[in-house]
Structure 1
Amino acid sequence: MNDQKFVDAVFFELFDENFCRYQDSLTKPTTGEQDSYGRARNALALLNSAQRLDVVEFLRVVIADTASVILGALDGVHFPDGLEGECVVSLDGVEIQGDLQDMFLSKAQNLGIYD
């Protein structure tokens, strides 16, 4: 149960909080700001509204793929270049790795992130 709790918490943080914050920031009117959000807003302003939405929605794929790589490495099923060895992940003293990536990707697919 701790593994599901962990995945749910990470998923919530990434999609219900972070993605919503990115979406909100990137869909604001351009103001000429030159920070990373401002530059992204300026670039998106060159697109029509449907194209802007497509780009912002693609961020969900990027977020899911990034988390998948990390969770796969923790699960011991994905080995980024140069990373050797086994990780041990626990929550409240109970080992939780092994299915984190699968559980996360299942939630992402159920949400339609890869559609």
Structure 2
Amino acid sequence: MSEKTDQFVKALYETVVQEGLHTYKEMYEEELSASEVDLYSQAIHMYQQMNAEQQRLMMHMIEVVMVDTVSHVFGVLDGTSPLTDSEMEATVLLDGTDTEMELQDTFIGYLQDEDLYP
């Protein structure tokens, strides 16, 4: 595994998962006006009606979905997971270095090494 791939995976985890989860938590805790009836507002209202343990579980489930999605996208990009009904292959270069077959494994390894897998 290259150092560039390690840096990229860690930065992506921090940006997408950690910062994203923090943003979701803030959004779910903000005040809503009574007139908001769209599905997103209904989900926030549902979250706000939960007790602290239920809210923690909901945020955990969101984190699991985020991590699994990032892992799957990495697999598609690095060639370890094929696209359904497609022969296309992606190539990801980090500063000119091919990441073929490394992104998903590096991401999962990072989560396991740092005890971050939800």
Q: TM-score, normalised by structure 1?
A: 0.83
User: Map of 1:1-115 to 2, 5 A cutoff?
Assistant: 1-32=3-34, 33-34=36-37, 37-109=40-112, 110-113=115-118
- C-alpha deviations, 1:24-61, integer Å up to 9, x for none? 21133554344554322112133222112201121110
Most deviating of 55-64 and 18-27: 18-27
- C-alpha deviations, 1:72-92, integer Å up to 9, x for none? 011111113113233211011
CA RMSD of aligned residues (A): 2.0
- Structure 1 residue runs of 5 or longer lacking an equivalent are none
> 2:91·2:98 contact (CA, 8 Å) conserved in 1?
yes
Once the two structures are TM-superposed, the CA of residue 96 in structure 1 deviates from its matched residue by 1.8
- Once residues 23 and 91 of structure 1 are traced to their aligned partners in structure 2, the CA distance between those partners, rounded to angstroms, is 31
1:45 is paired with a residue of what secondary structure?
A: helix
User: Percent identity at matched positions?
Assistant: 28
> 2:21·2:59 contact (CA, 8 Å) conserved in 1?
no
> What number of residue pairs does the alignment pair up?
113
> 2:74·2:104 contact (CA, 8 Å) conserved in 1?
yes
2:49 is paired with a residue of what secondary structure?
A: coil
- Structure 2 residue runs of 5 or longer lacking an equivalent are none
